């Protein structure tokens, strides 16, 4: 890894990768390693990152990641007021830092289910067979790709989640094996999540070469693509108040994520004609579906106060701080979403829900002091039907309007209510009653569907899995083809969460890395 400020003689590269998140970092690592192995002078790669390298605790200490929200390493997105969430505008965290959102997320390491891989195959054709995707995950599990490597099977739980986990095992609802949750399955057990962590520290996905440094231009905003005769030849970059051009001899690859990728395309004259015109932007290459298809996972937390336990509150006390220094243990090493499971209230995969179980009061930590020991069960619909958009903002051409359109489909509202009621009934059974002092959310007074849904409207929030705004597929109307090429423009590819044809059923980082490795293989064949 190597940061740089390009001089006039260093502004041409074979490949320019915009964005250093899990997709961009994995792609840069694969290209740099493979090219250098064959011929160190044959091809070159430049990574452009809008954020800083940042090596502070917010991007390294696991339990600190909610503190990064709203900080300088967060894009600080804000949605439009949501009709079915009490007209609230939700804050949307996303990593504006080297490593992207792998630097500020909950570090959950899950491979997609066969259902999700089959959906990719159906949308993208025979080269996306389930078997070929699984072979890439085999590499991600067993090779040190992009500083990843095999996960540690040993997971330490906070006392709050540990007692719930031990009770689940005692009554046949749990497992000690974290690999149980390595792929989504239908209600096998409550088990720890595998994590992107090593020895109590976050494992951020970074562009890293095993042979020679990868040039990285950080604190640099890609402003526009340079397009000549329907071919992308470079990028206009703004850094430290100056604008300059960098050129790509072969291709430019957008790995900016589901918000920044469409925004960069809009400012390059690519997107829906009407919406670009309304924002005062020139439309040189009409693409009506760029910016549409936005989906996200919405989470609503059930919160229980424990009869016995350890309050998980900010700031950490002296004992906790010292323990982390001495053995990287204690609450500072927690990824918060320590346990998980999948449920299907109707017994069908399309009705699947995911649980994220934390040792905290989900809405209090780390903002509100809380002296009560708690656990929270975050209930998340895996396959929402509601679809939103990211489009140019007519009131400010430099911005976009983010409208996830949460719970706009009646089926989603009904499904979420069923899952929350199912979860409440499950945790009010005998195995748990002596663990819990009180249900704090939604609380014993909220019994009717109307009362529970009113609470969902007030307190449901994002799980920060933004996807689908440059969907990929065989359909000629899809913006991106199955080889990640943006249709209608040469030498431009997109590889990030924006290309998902539908939102994955679980935490998407591993699937994004799989896609980046697919693209690297395609480019290496050229």
pLDDT digits (tens, 9 = 90+) for 70-107: 999 999 999 999 999 999 999 999 999 999 999 999 99
pLDDT for residue 154: 57
pLDDT for residue 11: 81
Question: Is the predicted pLDDT of residue 40 greater than 60, yes or no?
Answer: no
Question: Is the predicted pLDDT of residue 10 greater than 70, yes or no?
Answer: no
SS3 375: strand
Question: Is the predicted pLDDT of residue 43 greater than 80, yes or no?
Answer: no
The continuous run of DSSP H or E covering 413 comes out as helix 410-427
Question: Is the predicted pLDDT of residue 273 greater than 50, yes or no?
Answer: yes
Q: Pull the structure tokens for residue 508.
A: 């998407």
**Is the distance from CB of 45 to CB of 212 less than 8 angstroms?**
no
Using a pLDDT cut of 70, give the percent of the chain over it. Answer: 93
Q: Give the CA count within 13 Å in the CB-facing half-sphere of 5.
A: 6
> Distance (Å, rounded) from C-alpha 2 to C-alpha 16?
15
**Of 315, 377, 400, which Cα lies nearest the Cα of 57?**
315
Asked which of 70-84, 139-153, 181-195, 423-437 is least confident by mean pLDDT, the reply is 139-153
pLDDT for residue 39: 52
Q: Is the dihedral of CA 297, 96, 394, 265 positive or negative?
A: negative
pLDDT for residue 371: 87
Question: Is the predicted pLDDT of residue 406 greater than 60, yes or no?
Answer: yes
Instruction: Provide the b/e sequence for 500-510 (b: ≥16 CB within 10 Å).
Output: bbbbbbbbbbb
> Distance (Å, rounded) from C-alpha 273 to C-alpha 252?
23
The CA–CA distances, whole Å, from 140 to 133, 146, 510 equal: 11, 9, 8
> Distance (Å, rounded) from C-alpha 206 to C-alpha 385?
33
> Distance (Å, rounded) from C-alpha 326 to C-alpha 338?
22
Indicate the burial class of 317 (C-beta count within 10 angstroms; 0-12, 13-18, 19 or more): exposed
CA 259 to chain centre: 12
Average pLDDT value for residue range 491-502:
98
> Distance (Å, rounded) from C-alpha 403 to C-alpha 466?
11
CB atoms near residue 247 (< 10 Å) = 15
Class of the CATH domain delimited by 2-144+203-294+466-525 = alpha beta
Query: What angle is formed at CA 499 by the lines to CA 495 and CA 505, rounded to 5 degrees?
Result: 115
| Mean pLDDT of all residues belonging to the chain | 91
- Facing residues of 18 across strands? 48, 254
> Distance (Å, rounded) from C-alpha 339 to C-alpha 387?
28
If you search the block for the tokens 């007692």, which residue do you land on? 163
Q: Domain 156-192+298-381+408-459 carries which CATH code?
A: 3.30.410.40
Question: Is the predicted pLDDT of residue 440 greater than 80, yes or no?
Answer: yes
**Is the distance from CB of 112 to CB of 506 less than 8 angstroms?**
yes
pLDDT band at 368 (very low <50, low <70, confident <90, very high): confident
Domain ranges of the chain: 2-144+203-294+466-525, 156-192+298-381+408-459
**Is the distance from CB of 341 to CB of 382 less than 8 angstroms?**
no
β-strands 339-343, 353-358 pairing = antiparallel
pLDDT for residue 146: 46
The CA–CA distances, whole Å, from 206 to 152, 220, 338, 507 equal: 19, 17, 24, 19
> Distance (Å, rounded) from C-alpha 312 to C-alpha 306?
12
β-strands 242-254, 197-198 pairing = unpaired
SS3 letters for 429-444? CHHHHCCEEEEEECCC
> Distance (Å, rounded) from C-alpha 477 to C-alpha 456?
36
**Is the distance from CB of 296 to CB of 60 less than 8 angstroms?**
no
pLDDT for residue 213: 84
Give residue-wise pLDDT tens across range 128-172. 999 999 999 988 887 655 455 556 555 789 999 999 999 999 998
pLDDT band at 398 (very low <50, low <70, confident <90, very high): confident
- Facing residues of 256 across strands? none
Question: Is the predicted pLDDT of residue 210 greater than 70, yes or no?
Answer: no
Q: Is the dihedral of CA 67, 68, 71, 77 positive or negative?
A: negative
């Amino acid at each position: 890894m190597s940061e740089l400020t390009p001089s006039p003689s260093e502004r041409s590269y074979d490949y320019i990768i915009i964005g250093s998140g899990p997709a961009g970092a994995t792609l840069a690592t694969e290209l740099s390693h493979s090219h250098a192995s064959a011929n160190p002078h044959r091809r070159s790669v430049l990574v452009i990152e809008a954020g800083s390298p940042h090596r502070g605790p917010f991007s390294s200490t696991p339990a600190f990641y909610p503190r990064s929200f709203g900080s300088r390493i967060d894009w600080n997105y804000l949605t439009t007021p949501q009709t079915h969430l009490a007209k609230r505008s939700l804050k949307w965290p996303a990593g504006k830092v080297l490593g992207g959102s792998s630097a500020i997320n909950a570090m959950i390491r899950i491979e997609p289910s066969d259902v999700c891989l089959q959906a990719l195959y159906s949308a993208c054709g025979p080269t996306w067979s389930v078997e070929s995707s699984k072979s890439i995950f085999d590499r991600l599990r067993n090779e040190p790709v992009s500083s990843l490597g095999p996960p540690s099977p040993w997971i330490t739980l906070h006392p709050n989640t540990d007692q719930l986990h031990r009770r689940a095992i005692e009554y046949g609802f749990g497992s000690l094996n974290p690999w149980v949750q390595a792929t989504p399955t239908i209600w096998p057990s409550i088990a720890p999540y595998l994590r992107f962590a090593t020895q109590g520290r976050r494992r951020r996905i970074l562009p890293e070469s095993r042979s020679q440094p990868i040039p990285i231009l950080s604190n640099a905003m890609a402003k526009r693509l340079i397009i000549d005769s329907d071919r992308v030849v470079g990028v206009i970059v703004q850094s430290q108040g100056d604008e300059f051009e960098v050129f790509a001899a072969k291709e430019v690859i957008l790995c900016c994520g589901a918000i920044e990728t469409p925004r960069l395309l809009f400012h390059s004259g690519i997107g829906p004609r009407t919406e670009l015109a309304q924002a005062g932007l020139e439309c040189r290459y009409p693409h009506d579906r760029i910016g549409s298809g936005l989906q996200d996972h919405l989470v609503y937390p059930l919160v229980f106060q424990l009869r016995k336990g350890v309050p998980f509150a900010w700031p950490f006390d002296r004992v906790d701080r010292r323990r982390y220094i001495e053995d990287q243990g204690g609450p500072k090493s927690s990824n918060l979403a320590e346990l998980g499971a999948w449920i299907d209230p109707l017994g069908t995969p399309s009705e699947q829900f995911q649980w994220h179980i934390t040792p905290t009061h989900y809405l209090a930590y780390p903002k509100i002091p809380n002296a009560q020991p708690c656990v929270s069960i975050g209930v998340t619909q895996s396959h929402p039907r509601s679809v939103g958009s990211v489009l140019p903002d007519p009131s400010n051409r430099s911005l976009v309007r983010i409208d996830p359109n949460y719970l706009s489909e009646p089926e989603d509202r009904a499904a979420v209510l069923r899952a929350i009621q199912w979860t409440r009934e499950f945790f009010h059974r005998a195995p748990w009653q002596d663990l819990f002092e009180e249900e704090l959310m939604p609380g014993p007074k909220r019994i009717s569907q109307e009362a529970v849904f009113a609470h969902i409207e007030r307190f449901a929030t994002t799980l920060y899995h933004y996807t689908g705004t440059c969907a990929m597929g065989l359909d000629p109307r899809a913006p991106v083809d199955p080889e990640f090429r943006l249709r209608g423009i040469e030498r431009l590819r997109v590889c990030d969460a924006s290309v998902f044809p539908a939102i994955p059923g679980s935490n998407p980082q591993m699937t994004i890395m799989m896609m980046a490795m697919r693209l690297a293989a395609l480019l290496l064949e050229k």
